[in-house]
Amino acid sequence: MPGSTSSWGVAAITLVCLATVAVGALGLRLSRTTSDFYVAGRVVTAGWNASAIGGEYLSAASFLGVAGLVYSLGTHMLWLPVGYTLGYLVLLVLVAAPLRRSGAYTIPDFAEARLQSDRVRRLASLLVVAIGWLYLLPQFQGAGLALRTVTGGSPALGSFIVAVVVFASVAAGGMRSITLVQAMQYWIKLFAIAVPAFVLLWLWARGGQPLPSVSDPAGPFGGALPAYATREHPLYATYSTMLALCFGTMGLPHVLVRFYTNPDGRAARRTTVFVIALLGLFYLFPPVLGMLGRIYLPDLPQDARADSILLLLPSAMVPGMLGDLLSAVLAAGAFAAFLSTASGLTVSVAGVVDQDLFSSRLNRRLGGDLPRRKTFRLACVVAIAIPYAASWLAPSITLADTVGMAFAIAASTFCPLLILGVWWRRLSVAGAAAGLLVGGGLALGATLATFAGVGSSVSGWLPVLLAQPAAWTMPLAFATAVIVSLATPRSVPLNATRVMVRLHAPEEVTGRVGSHGD
């Protein structure tokens, strides 16, 4: 229950935070022994790399949000983790190997390599920051929620802890993203959700409680679990969300960075298959816990949010020490989720802020010799402080919904840029820029309108269209990019064919085996 104090919870959260900083420091020392950190990427096996990708990807939305939504909205929400996993299938079949072969470290890098345009690069940088901040927001909110639920501490403290630990590890590690920490976080998360799930399932089987009854056969997946809260137009919302998750994953700021540690395009593909296996394994558990929540906590306790159902469940099933212990394990896993996703995002956002928006300007103003390390730290402060402050002001939209909007923006901006960039030689600079502007403008506008509370004043289709915009913003962005490109054949970059060869031809042919970023 909110307000109850648990020393187990405090201990578990402290342990995860310390382990993150300690392994981060260790990884830093290891990477310092090699002259170039990226060389270390070549000896990172597909398994480790995939664990790191999974570790960074499984955020507050996956750990707490999925269970919360299955609890409050029923089986329709089983789609959500499927969508998160499918995002990697789409990434695999459409962009994984070409992106690695492009040698790009971030999406702005790709935009520049493919289109030779500083302007598109700048635009992509701004979008990386916007998506990154929107994605960081629920990580801070989730941290506050988890700390309050498990220990009774103030929510302010929870998000502050995450902000400080993330700043410490990212600012110390600099631009080197630390594979070791992220890989460890995946296994912490899997352990922290699987063990409580098995214990609680065993208790449920022994207790002989029936499952929630199957009654109302409406909705996209039948009504095996009728929703508590109902949403308007659930079919549209489900399909639009799925579209955002499937096509947004490839455009998330922290995903591409991780693919860079693969030695070549073929390894990038194989790693992605591993990632899909690891994600599928993890996503078996949150829905199970959400459904157990429906049995043992038929009414959500006063002033608790559905997002905290995972943490409330153990005490509701087994009051006493075992319940507290399981809650603590779950809270530790949730913190691992906040920390890993937040640091991955912070590295990406701070990198972009530093490189494209900050460094040159600061240096021009201050005479040009500010060390890189210092400007990067400054960029880290900006990258963390703004979403941290916003996590106070933003209304409490569920964690998974906020993350869903970040996916929708990525699907409406970077997805067209990447897919057309990889597969279509006639993409022009003007077309790419127009696609980013239209998709980004519409999706961002829809997100801001939803945050501003349009849903509470208007009913019908409008709030649904604004809350789940991907189904209309993504096709519009694609159409804009294609039409403008066809209308401006002169702004197609001259070396488009050469770049396309580099993206698609195997490394043996282009003679760039294991090359890193040329």
Partner 1 sequence: MSAVPGSGEQRAATERGDVGARRVRVTSPRRDARRQIERRPDAVELTEQTGLGEVYLTALLRAQLRLSLAVLLGVGGLLVGLPALFLLVPGAAAAAIGPVPVLWLVAGVGVYPIVLLASRLHVRQAERIERDFTDLMAGR
Helix-strand-coil split of the chain, %, nearest 5: 80, 0, 20
Return the number of other C-beta atoms located less than 10 Å from residue 317's C-beta.
22
Nearer to partner 1, 160 or 204 (CB): 204
Shortest spacing between CB 423 and partner 1, in angstroms = 6
Nearest CA among 311, 255, 199, 307 for reference residue 49: 255
- Residue 369's contacts (CB-CB under 8 Å, 6 or more residues apart) are 363
Compute the distance between CA of residue 87 and CA of residue 244 in angstroms, rounded to an integer: 9
Shortest spacing between CB 210 and partner 1, in angstroms = 7
Tokens of residue 21, six digits = 């900083």
Shortest spacing between CB 215 and partner 1, in angstroms = 9
Compute the distance between CA of residue 184 and CA of residue 192 in angstroms, rounded to an integer: 12
Contact 81, 62 (CB under 8 A): yes
Compute the distance between CA of residue 18 and CA of residue 25 in angstroms, rounded to an integer: 11
Compute the distance between CA of residue 371 and CA of residue 363 in angstroms, rounded to an integer: 9
* Radius of gyration of the chain measured on its C-alpha atoms: 22
Q: What are phi and psi of 493, to 5 degrees?
A: -60, 145
Nearer to partner 1, 74 or 253 (CB): 74
Nearer to partner 1, 47 or 455 (CB): 47
Shortest spacing between CB 500 and partner 1, in angstroms = 6
Compute the distance between CA of residue 409 and CA of residue 451 in angstroms, rounded to an integer: 14
Nearer to partner 1, 210 or 367 (CB): 210
Shortest spacing between CB 23 and partner 1, in angstroms = 29
Residues that bind partner 1 (CB under 8 A): 75, 78-79, 82, 85-86, 88-90, 92-94, 97, 210-211, 214, 217, 220-224, 242, 266, 269-270, 272-273, 276-277, 280-281, 283-284, 287-288, 291, 423, 497-498, 500-501, 504-506, 508-511
Tokens of residue 36, six digits = 């170039």
Shortest spacing between CB 281 and partner 1, in angstroms = 8
Nearer to partner 1, 217 or 320 (CB): 217
Nearer to partner 1, 146 or 242 (CB): 242
Shortest spacing between CB 214 and partner 1, in angstroms = 5
Give the largest CA-CA distance in the chain: 73
- Residue 334's contacts (CB-CB under 8 Å, 6 or more residues apart) are 60, 63, 64, 142, 143, 146, 192, 310, 311
Shortest spacing between CB 85 and partner 1, in angstroms = 6
Return the number of other C-beta atoms located less than 10 Å from residue 322's C-beta.
15
Nearer to partner 1, 269 or 516 (CB): 269
Nearer to partner 1, 156 or 214 (CB): 214
